[in-house]
A and B are shown apart, each in its own frame.
Chain A
Amino acid sequence: MTDMSNTTYDSIIIGGGHNGLVCAAYLAKAGKRVLVLEARGEIGGAANTMTFCDGWKVSPCAHYLNQLNSTVRRDLNLTSHGLKMAGSDISTIALDPEGDHLFLSDQGASGAGISANDAASYRRFMKLMHQYSTTLGFLVDLPPIDIFNPDWDDKVAALKLGWNVRIGLGAEKMSEFLRMVGMNIYDVLDDEFDNPTLKGALAFDAVLGTHTGPRSPGSVLTFLYRLVAGTDGAVELPEGGMGAVTSAMAKAATGFGATIKTGARVASVIVENCVATGVVLDNGATYSATHIISNADPKTTVMDIVGPRHFEADFVKRVDNIRMRGNAAKLHIALKSLPRFTNLSAEQLRSRLLIAPTHDDVERAFNHAKYGEASANPMMEISIPSIDDETLCDEGHVLSAIVQYAPYTLKGGWTEAAKDNFRNACIDRIARYAPDIRDHIEAAELVTPADLEQRYGMRGGNWHHGELTLDQMLMLRPAPEASRYALPLDGLYLCGAGAHPGGGVMGAAGKNAAKTILSEGRS
């Protein structure tokens, strides 16, 4: 046991993922004594940069930055702490095996035989989506509205929401919004477009990182979520990988006076007389604080770290029922040199490359996942970050792909054989677009949802710490009694993606949690 005298803090944050670091920075900035305890040897959680093959580094989970909260970026002055973008405004290319690719950017769509009609529809559709995103965007930076016991801020937010939807959008667009928001993206795409490559690409974006197919209810909402909870669709590539983002956040936090300890795995939370008062590490060291803030996902926090007996039963049941099924794997390939993609220049490989030929293909890929199988023809978002970012490898290139679907609960489990099979299936899939890729491969690694859970502790390997569906959003995230960061155990809080506004390298949950804690006793 270490002595207790100098181990008392205002706040202890369990987990040094990006939200934990952001929360620490805000609290420390306000003069609080903050301790961040990270179980792994390095900070960042899944938002880090990892050597997966000697000489090759990669972002092991999310590889693009498209949701970093602009308030966080500004408040924590991440640029001054070394955050630099290797690429910004990254465009998208939806790949076609014959080389008739579709080029998508904010300006419009071209290629893949897209008709003038579809191109116009695409511009109009994206404009509408951006409008919706602007309408709802402010919700990200607020705690969910307390509808039962609203304070002044809640009433203002509710009025603003009503105003934005009704007056901001206008009657016609509001009714269109209400029509669409609960729909599945598949039907919307069929309403709007003819071009199969375009429909495939948009369908894939709607289901990226989720346990849904394009025909699943709520897939319009997840499409919108990418924009709402993000930088309005702009995709950036952080130099040095995702670890550079969290490293800048950590510098901001320590700059404000927070203490960060790595290799410090919290075994349990100390609960005295129904109040969380401290933590015990797996080495027996204890730390006390008035605020214990968990960056772990809600299920892990309640079920494993604190323990269900410290909560009331209905709440435990709700937490137990949170759906967090990871269904996305990561494929990392160390490339000796850049492969040739059919009909794409090396310059064009800077883009975000999608393998999602049609929306039916995406749905069919999901069919396997429903029954515990990995997709026979997986869908992918491919990035070759080393083209813009020399820090990732000494020579050659890095290919990083998010692959769907790879269910956490694979029939028979993610054995080495199962991983080999799926990794080969993924490489075969890429080879249809880049026939010579196998000649360029030095090494390849597949990271399954089971691996993500094992490495980063995110239950079910779910990137978002809880699936993003309407019943798990806003005041329902992660459960009605805990949607405003304070858990129903005095002294205990959530600051991770399991809380509103959810997942992605965003930092908004960490910021909102800190603001909520700082405003305690003020209202």
Chain B
Amino acid sequence: MRDLSGQNHYHSAVRATPFYEKQKAVDLVNTWHRWQGYTVPDVLDNVTVEYFAIRNSASVFDITPMSKYRIKGPDALAFMNRLLPRDMTKLRVGRVGYTVWCDDEGMVIDDGTVFRVAEDEYWLCAQERQLEVLKRNAIGFQIEYAEITDEVAALSFQGPVTCKILKNAGFAGIETMKMFDLRFFDFPGGEIMISRSGYTGDLGYEVWVQNDQAEAIWDTLFEAGKHYDIRAIGGDALEIARVEAGLIAAHVEFSPANETVRPGHAKSPYELGLGWLVKLDKGVVFNGRRALMKEKKNGSRHRFVKLDVEGNKTACNAYLFDKKHGKQIGHVSSTAWAPTAKKNIALGFVDMPHGEIGTEVWAEIYYMKELKWNTRWAKCTVMKDAAWNPPRKTLTPPADF
């Protein structure tokens, strides 16, 4: 890529992450897309091979474009506790939490992970840009906040042998990290942060480094993993894994409330199946509290469902019905053939009170064969859990290979 540093930035609206050259070196297919201003691969080699690296060995995915923020100051805890519906007094230093955050109407702005790196310091990692949200939330709090998206390079390192590889790479004690622990490790050029977290529903870590340590950490992982089928992957493989794990995505499962202009088009945490994140009784005010109390009392409009779809046709963009040719009650938001769970699955939304666990809904699936459209009705069963939720996700220490 041409030099876009300094004043040359305007030559392109696409930037390279610090891992760009490393990824380009193993790229066989040249399929990339723009993600928050950075170019990232959809596929580097073959999506099936890359997917199975997530589930069967070790996958490396560049998450540098994720929006990252540092929040620091004497009011950091109070600030996070007002921003997030979770009870943040429960998140100790050295822990990571998955969370959503809402506007005053109780509608989800975004979801992400919050890292308590020190008593008075948090990192927030989000799908969408959050600077304006932080700005309005900071009024009246003694904190400083900064966007560190471009300063911190990050890799998602996911798969059953990742712990072993990190151990091989010399990150001593990595096997004692529990799910959602974070720890700092010595590394040439300065401490780096490793958290046991991810977006695959599997054993995995996220590695957070300074930009100038990026290539070194990449080389370190690949060297330590060379006998363990470590593989760089693109976004397409990750998409299959996250649907299989039943995880939501912004602009897919929900329209971020602060960008949504049409009334009723945003969703609440309850409607995203994330009511467990909302602690109405935590004793302090948080954004959306009053609206969510009302929703809790009066009921939600929609229910998030994980569906096991009959047959082998993915229910891509399908409407959902209460019965075959029945009343339309919702829609499918994400689909995948789940290779490990060996299921045709879908994520979607149905109007309340439909969609209780174990009940059936119907999808009218349109699919194309050699440019000819066909339609098929498929019975879908509402699953209790995600299609893929293995014990190794949380097992500590992870299996040694």
Q: A residues within 8 Å of B by Cβ?
A: 273-274, 303, 307-317, 320, 481, 488-489
A308 B140 Cβ-Cβ under 8 A: yes
Q: Does B187 make an interface contact (CB < 8 A)? A: no
B122 adjacent to chain A (CB < 8 Å) = no
Closest residue of chain A to B280 (Cβ to Cβ) is A274
B83 located at the interface, meaning its Cβ lies under 8 Å from any Cβ of chain A in the complex: yes
Q: Which chain A residue has the least Cβ–Cβ distance from B75?
A: A309
Minimum CB distance partner of B106 in chain A: A312
Asked if A312 and B104 sit within 8 Å, CB to CB, the answer is yes
Contact A315 B104 (CB under 8 A): yes
For B83, the chain A residues whose CB sits under 8 A away are: 313
Chain B residues, Cβ within 8 Å of A311: 285
Candidates B141, B283, B290; contact of A309 at CB < 8 Å: B141
**Within the complex, which residue of B104, B287, B289 is in contact with A274, where a contact is CB–CB below 8 Å?**
B289
Q: Which residue from A307, A310, A313, A481 sits with its C-beta under 8 Å from B137? A: A313
A316 & B136 in contact (Cβ 8 Å cutoff) = yes
A317-B136 contact, Cβ under 8 Å, with A309-B141, A312-B289, A312-B290: yes
Mark out the residues of chain B between 262 and 310 whose CB falls within 8 Å of any chain A CB in the assembled complex.
Answer: 283-290
Nearest-Cβ distance from residue B121 to partner chain A, whole angstroms: 18
Task: Say which residue of A308, A320, A488 sits within 8 Å of B141 (CB atoms).
Answer: A308
B82 at the interface (CB under 8 A from A): yes
Residue of A nearest to B135 (CB): A317
Report whether B285 and A489 are in contact in the complex, using a CB–CB cutoff of 8 Å.
Answer: yes
Report the bound CA distance from A481 to B291 in whole Å.
12
Question: Could you tell me the distance in whole angstroms from the C-beta of B279 to the nearest C-beta in chain A?
Answer: 12
**Contact assessment for A313 and B287 in the assembled complex, using a CB-CB cutoff below 8 Å:** yes
* 14 A/B residue pairs, CB under 8 Å, sorted by A: A274-B283, A274-B284, A274-B289, A307-B140, A309-B75, A309-B140, A312-B287, A312-B288, A313-B83, A313-B287, A314-B136, A314-B287, A316-B139, A481-B104
In whole angstroms, what is the CA distance A449 to B327 when docked? 64
Q: Assess the A308–B139 pair: CB atoms within 8 A.
A: yes
Task: Give min CB distance, A303 to chain B, whole Å.
Answer: 6
Determine whether the beta carbon of B285 is less than 8 Å from that of A314.
Answer: no
Q: Which of B78, B103, B289 contacts A314 (CB 8 A)?
A: B103
Chain A's nearest CB lies how many Å from the CB of B287?
5
B288 neighbours in A (Cβ, 8 Å): 312
Q: How far is the CB of A312 from chain B (nearest CB, A)?
A: 4
Determine the distance from Cα of A317 to Cα of B139 in the docked complex, in whole angstroms.
7
From A303, A309, A488, A489, B82 is in contact (CB under 8 Å) with A309
Q: How far is the CA of A320 from the CA of B136 in the complex (A)?
A: 9
**Nearest B-chain residue to A311, judged by Cβ:** B285
* Shortest beta-carbon distance from B108 to chain A in Å: 14
Q: Out of B82, B133, B139, B289, name the residue touching A320 (CB < 8 Å).
A: B139
Task: Tell me the count of chain B residues lying within 8 A, CB to CB, of chain A.
Answer: 20
Q: A307-B140, A308-B141, A320-B139 are in contact. Are A313 and B82 (CB under 8 A)?
A: yes
Residue of A whose beta carbon sits closest to that of B132: A317
B283 lies within 8 A of A313 (CB): no
How many A-B contacts at CB < 8 Å in the complex? 51
Query: Which residues on the B side are within 8 Å of A307 (C-beta)?
Result: 140
Whether the Cβ atoms of B290 and A488 lie closer than 8 Å is yes
Interface residues, chain B, CB within 8 Å of chain A? 75, 78, 82-83, 103-104, 133, 136-137, 139-141, 283-290
Residue in A314, A320, A489 with the greatest tally of chain B CB atoms within 10 Å: A314
CA separation between A310 and B78, bound complex, in Å?
10
Contacts of A303 in B (CB 8 A): 140
Distance of A310 Cα from B83 Cα, bound (Å): 12
Question: CA separation between A309 and B283, bound complex, in Å?
Answer: 12
Chain B residues with CB below 8 A from A274, complex form: 283-285, 289
CB contacts (< 8 Å) of A273 on chain B: these are 283
Instruction: Name B's interface SS.
Output: loop
Q: Taking CB as reference atom, which chain B residue is nearest A313?
A: B137
Closest to A310 in B: B285
- Cα A481 to Cα B140 in complex, Å, equals 19
Q: A residues within 8 A CB of B140?
A: 303, 307-309, 316
CB-based closest 10 A-B pairs: A308-B140, A314-B104, A317-B136, A312-B104, A313-B137, A312-B287, A313-B287, A273-B283, A316-B139, A313-B136
Nearest chain A CB to B262 CB, angstrom units: 16
| CB-based nearest A residue for B283 | A273
Name the contact of A313 in the complex, choosing from B75, B78, B139 (C-beta under 8 A). B139
Give CA–CA (A358, B224) in the complex, Å: 84
CB distance from B120 to the nearest CB of A (A): 16
Q: How far is the CB of B83 from chain A (nearest CB, A)?
A: 7
Question: Closest CB-CB distance, A486 to chain B, in whole Å?
Answer: 11
Min C-beta distance of A487 to chain B, whole Å: 11
For residue B134, give the distance in angstroms from its CB to the closest CB of chain A: 10
In angstroms, how far is the closest chain A Cβ from the Cβ of B54? 37
Across the two chains, which residue of chain A brings its CB closest to B140? A308
Q: How far is the CA of A313 from the CA of B284 in the complex (A)?
A: 13
Which B residues lie within 8 Å of A488 (CB)?
A: 104, 290
Q: From A308, which residue of chain B is reached at the shortest CB distance?
A: B140
Interface centre among B78, B285, B289 (most CB of A within 10 A): B285
Set of chain A residues within 8 Å of B104, measured between Cβ atoms: 312-315, 481, 488
How many angstroms between the C-alpha atoms of A274 and B282 in the bound complex? 9
Residues of A within 8 Å of B283, CB to CB, are 273-274
Measured CB to CB, the closest approach of chain A to B257, in angstroms, equals: 10
Given A308-B141, A312-B288, A313-B82, 10 new contacts (CB under 8 A): A274-B285, A303-B140, A309-B140, A311-B285, A312-B104, A312-B286, A312-B290, A313-B287, A314-B103, A488-B290
Most chain A CB within 10 A, of B136, B140, B288, is at B140
What is the CB-to-nearest-CB distance from B133 to chain A, in angstroms, rounded to a whole number? 8
CA distance A307 to B285 in the complex (A): 11
A489 to B141, CA, bound (A): 18
A488 to B291, CA, bound (A): 11
Chain B residues with Cβ below 8 Å from A313 are 82-83, 103-104, 133, 136-137, 139, 287
In Å, the complex CA distance between A311 and B136 comes to 12
Min CB distance B78 to A, Å, is 6
Please give, as numbers and ranges, the residues of chain A lying within 8 Å of B287 by CB-CB distance: 312-314
Q: For B288, give the chain A residue with the smallest CB separation.
A: A312
How far apart sit A315 and B284, CA to CA, in the bound complex (Å)?
Answer: 16
Closest Cβ of chain B to A48, distance in Å, is 31
> In the complex, A308 Cα to B136 Cα: how many Å?
11
Question: Closest B-chain residue to A271, C-beta based?
Answer: B285
- From A314, which residue of chain B is reached at the shortest CB distance? B104
Residues of A within 8 A of B286 (CB): 312
Interfacial chain B residues near A320, Cβ < 8 Å: 139
Give Cα distance in the complex from A315 to B287, angstroms: 9
Q: Give, as a whole number of angstroms, the nearest-CB distance from A322 to chain B.
A: 13
A314-B356 Cα distance, complex, nearest whole Å: 34
Q: B139 contacts A312, CB within 8 Å?
A: no
The answer for the CA separation of A314 and B136 in the assembled complex, in Å, is 7
Bound complex: CA A317 to CA B78 (Å):
17
A309 touches B136 (CB 8 A): no
Q: Name the CB-closest residue of A to B258.
A: A314
Minimum CB distance partner of A303 in chain B: B140
Question: What is the bound-complex CA distance between A108 and B139, given in angstroms?
Answer: 52
B286 to chain A, nearest CB (A): 7
Bound Cα distance A274, B287 (Å): 12
Rounded to whole Å, the gap between the CB of A30 and the closest CB of chain B is 27
Name A302's closest neighbour in chain B (CB-CB): B140
- Select from chain B the residue with minimum beta-carbon distance to A316: B139
Q: Which residues of A contact B137 (CB under 8 A)?
A: 313
The docked-state distance in angstroms from the alpha carbon of A303 to that of B139 is: 9
- Measured in the bound complex, the distance between the Cα atoms of B287 and A307 in whole Å is 15
The smallest beta-carbon distance between A493 and chain B, in angstroms, is: 16
Taken together as a complex, chains A and B put the C-alpha atoms of A438 and B346 apart, in Å, by 87
Question: Most chain-B CB neighbours within 10 Å: which of A307, A312, A315, A317?
Answer: A312
CB distance from A275 to the nearest CB of B (A): 10
Alpha-carbon distance A311/B78, docked complex (angstroms): 12
> Closest CB of chain A to B75's CB: distance in Å?
8
Instruction: With CB as the reference atom, state the residue of chain A lying closest to B141.
Output: A309
Closest to A274 in B: B285
Give bound CA distance, A274 to B140, whole Å. Answer: 17
Return chain B residues, CB-CB under 8 Å to A308: 139-141
